[in-house]
Structure 1
Amino acid sequence: MQSFRMLGAIAAAALVSGACVSGPAFAQTLSTGEFNGEATLKAPATAPREATIAGVAWRCEGDQCAGHASRRQGVDGLVKECKRVAAVVGPVSSYKSRGRELTAGQIRACNRGAVTLQTARN
């Protein structure tokens, strides 16, 4: 009888954990489809700039940057994506991709992390 209770508990835990990681957000995170992102720079670029960052083609004009990739693999978190972009194009005041936008606190973490990435590269 004890083993049946244990199996029941394991099955219930599996169902709950499966429900937590399923749905549109998880599917979108694992998606290898089209990627579109937007960033607003803290200071406008003096000239248009293009860069490929983690497989995404980014173009910045003034204080607006747009990133696009027809196919992109990866499951990076939004803040990690932002850090990679900010390390190349400069500090950002907003960042969004995959239908989500960073909060003010996440933007601060992004910009701090970007400085660390720049330092590590140099």
Structure 2
Amino acid sequence: MITQTQNAFPRLFLAAGLALAGTIASFGATVSPAHAGTNAYSATLAAGLEAPAKKVVNGVLWKCEGDSCVGAVDGARPVNTCRQVVKTFGAVSKFATPKGDLGAEDLQRCNAAA
């Protein structure tokens, strides 16, 4: 009997250790901050800015430097946000959303706001 009890302890501790490690790993994944680009729009301006700029577009702060602009998703349709960015900063050659880039037709509609 003593032999069986002594052999059970290492397995018990191994199982408990693995369970604890899994719990810690899953907790860490749920409380870690999301990557910065996951819930943001980005725009590439057709003509870069001379100086960095920060302006509020659709209630969201957009930061631009050179030909790159970034702003959080604001809840509006991406093409509508793109139009507001064009009105504020100028024509864009690319507008990216968390789900992908705007297509050529949407990008053309977006730049029509200039």
Q: Tell me the TM-score range normalised by the shorter chain.
A: 0.5 to 0.7
Runs (5+) with no aligned partner, structure 2:
1-37
Query: How high is the TM-score relative to the length of structure 2?
Result: 0.61
Corresponding residue for 1:64?
68
Note the 1:70-109 alignment, pairs <5 A. Answer: 72=74, 74=75, 76-109=76-109
Note the 1:1-122 alignment, pairs <5 A. Answer: 35-68=39-72, 72=74, 74=75, 76-112=76-112, 114-115=113-114
Which amino acid is the alignment partner of residue 85 of structure 1? V
Structure 1 residue ranges, 4+ long, deviating more than 2 angstroms after superposition: none
Q: Distance in 1 between matches of 2:87 and 2:40?
A: 18
Displacement, 1:91?
0.3
Q: Distance in 2 between matches of 1:35 and 1:53?
A: 16
Q: Distance in 2 between matches of 1:63 and 1:101?
A: 16
State the identity %: 35
Q: Distance in 2 between matches of 1:109 and 1:97?
A: 16
Q: Distance in 2 between matches of 1:43 and 1:103?
A: 20
Which amino acid is the alignment partner of residue 40 of structure 2? N
Larger Rg: 2
For residues 72-118 of structure 1, the C-alpha deviation after alignment (integer angstroms, 9 at most, x for no partner) is: 4x3x2211110011110110000012323101221111010x23xxx
For residues 16-48 of structure 1, the C-alpha deviation after alignment (integer angstroms, 9 at most, x for no partner) is: xxxxxxxxxxxxxxxxxx841100000010110
SS in 2 for 1:96: strand
For residues 33-71 of structure 1, the C-alpha deviation after alignment (integer angstroms, 9 at most, x for no partner) is: x841100000010110110111211111111111136xx
